[in-house]
């Protein structure tokens, strides 16, 4: 009996170390340990020589050994490809891994980042403010008192329970908040989302993005404004793009202008994008109205400043030749993933 147990232990060791890497070796293993003339069978045959009182114990050891050998066989069978239905598929480390889905930056983010980085190089710092704003910061402080007709051009969404609250129509509220801090000079760029009560169409949406700039110091002139914007246009749209200023009206700037750039799709010849004029309107600008400075407790006799504001969507439409503004907010991965390599 002791001798048999020792023998079983040594067979176990042999099975543990048994190398099976092909069907032939698998068959050799089967014949040696599990075949009709194999070792397991011959061990069972020894049962008759075991004393009766030890038979139960020996039977248990034998059964364990048999299961051990069968388990080794089944494992080896699966890994040598003899059993297609097995769960234990061989691990092939040479297979390529599952591709990780890498997101793309949103086209609006790409264009906004480009705009912001150009002004940052000129020394502008980024300022931020709330999208839910009160009437004073969005309108009144900007020289748009209640009942001012220019308010109609910037109809927005109001909060029913708080009639004084609204969704900001421009990022100029950030300019007001910065001016109120009273730390001069101010040289900021304000990127952000704004809202208008507009019918949603291919050309306009009830929300869009703006980048506004503000520079207030002593002796700031319209020439500084023009030079800054010239630099911006060349960096943003290319060295060959022409610029023109048209007189305009905004309540918060005086004098005011709108700036157009020559259409870089048709190079000024006229196309669908520029409505065959050769020019595309890109931003509004002007010298900060003295009343706005005074509203923010800045001495308008000592300080002057310029401000400008532009949408992000329109340049994005132009730069990427997109024909519908709604695509930017539909969250359609087929559209968005096309910008994976865009800059
Ligand atoms: Zn054109």
What are the DSSP calls for 82-124, one per residue? S-TT-S-----TTSPPPPPP-----HHHHHHHHHHHHHHHTT-
Ligand 1 centroid to Cα of residue 178, in Å, is 38
Ligand 1 centroid to Cα of residue 201, in Å, is 21
Task: Place 341 in a pLDDT band, splitting at 50, 70 and 90.
Answer: confident
Ligand 1 centroid to Cα of residue 240, in Å, is 14
Per-residue pLDDT, 82: 53
pLDDT per position as a tens digit, 208-241: 999 999 999 999 999 999 999 999 999 999 999 9
Q: What residues contact residue 176 under an 8 Å CB cut-off, 6+ apart?
A: 137, 141, 142, 292, 295, 296
Q: Are 249 and 230 in contact (CB under 8 A)?
A: no
Ligand 1 centroid to Cα of residue 335, in Å, is 24
Ligand 1 centroid to Cα of residue 239, in Å, is 17
Task: Place 340 in a pLDDT band, splitting at 50, 70 and 90.
Answer: confident
What is the dihedral sign for C-alpha 28, 34, 40, 45? negative
Task: Place 163 in a pLDDT band, splitting at 50, 70 and 90.
Answer: confident
Whether residue 342 is predicted with pLDDT greater than 80 in this model: the reply is no
Ligand 1 centroid to Cα of residue 183, in Å, is 43
DSSP at 30? I
Ligand 1 centroid to Cα of residue 260, in Å, is 12
Cα gap 136→134, rounded to integer Å: 6
| C-alpha separations of 329 from 102, 232, 335 in Å | 20, 27, 10
What is the dihedral sign for C-alpha 330, 333, 335, 340? positive
First to last CA, the chain: 81
Q: Are 264 and 241 in contact (CB under 8 A)?
A: yes
Ligand 1 centroid to Cα of residue 218, in Å, is 39
Q: CA 26 from chain center: how many Å?
A: 53
pLDDT per position as a tens digit, 177-216: 999 998 999 999 999 999 999 899 888 899 999 999 999 9
Ligand 1 centroid to Cα of residue 66, in Å, is 85
DSSP at 220? -
Ligand 1 centroid to Cα of residue 318, in Å, is 10
Mean pLDDT of 43-56: 87
Ligand 1 centroid to Cα of residue 274, in Å, is 4
Ligand 1 centroid to Cα of residue 198, in Å, is 26
Ligand 1 centroid to Cα of residue 283, in Å, is 17
Cα gap 95→100, rounded to integer Å: 15
Mean pLDDT of 39-55: 87
Taking the CA atoms of residue 127, residue 132, residue 137 and residue 142 in that order, the dihedral angle to the nearest 10 degrees is: 90
Ligand 1 centroid to Cα of residue 268, in Å, is 6
Ligand 1 centroid to Cα of residue 262, in Å, is 8
Average pLDDT, the chain: 90
Ligand 1 centroid to Cα of residue 229, in Å, is 21
pLDDT per position as a tens digit, 264-282: 888 888 887 788 999 999 9
């Amino acid at each position: 009996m002791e001798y048999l147990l020792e023998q079983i232990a040594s067979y176990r060791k042999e099975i543990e170390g048994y190398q099976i890497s092909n069907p032939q070796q698998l068959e050799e293993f089967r014949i040696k340990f599990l075949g009709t003339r194999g070792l397991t069978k011959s061990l069972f045959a020894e049962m008759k020589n075991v004393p009766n009182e030890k038979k139960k114990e020996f039977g248990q050891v034998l059964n364990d050994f048999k299961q051990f050998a069968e388990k080794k066989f089944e494992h080896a069978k699966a890994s040598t490809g003899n059993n297609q239905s097995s769960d234990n598929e061989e691990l092939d480390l040479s297979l390529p891994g599952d591709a990780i889905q890498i997101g793309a930056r949103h086209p609006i983010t790409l264009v906004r980042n480009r705009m912001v980085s150009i002004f940052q190089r000129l020394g502008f710092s980024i300022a931020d403010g709330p999208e839910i704003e009160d009437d004073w910061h969005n309108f009144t402080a900007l020289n748009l008192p209640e009942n001012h007709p220019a308010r109609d051009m910037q109809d927005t969404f109001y909060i029913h329970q708080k009639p004084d609250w609204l969704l900001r129509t421009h990022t100029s509220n950030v300019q007001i908040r910065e001016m109120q801090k009273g730390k001069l000079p101010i040289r900021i760029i304000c990127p952000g989302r704004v809202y208008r009560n507009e019918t949603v169409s291919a050309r306009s949406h009830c929300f869009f993005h703006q980048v506004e700039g503000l520079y207030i110091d002593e002796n700031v002139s319209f020439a500084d404004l023009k030079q800054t914007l010239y630099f911006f246009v060349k960096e943003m749209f290319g060295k060959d793009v022409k610029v023109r200023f048209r007189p305009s009206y905004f309540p918060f700037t005086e004098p005011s202008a709108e700036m157009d750039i020559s259409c870089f799709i048709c190079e000024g010849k006229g196309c669908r994008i520029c409505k065959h004029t050769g020019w595309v309107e890109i931003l509004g600008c002007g010298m900060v109205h003295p009343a706005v400075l005074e509203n923010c407790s800045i001495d308008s006799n000592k300080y002057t400043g310029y401000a400008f504001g532009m949408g992000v969507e329109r340049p994005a439409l132009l730069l990427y030749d997109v024909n519908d503004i709604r695509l930017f907010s539909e969250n359609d991965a087929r559209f968005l993933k096309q910008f994976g390599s865009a800059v």
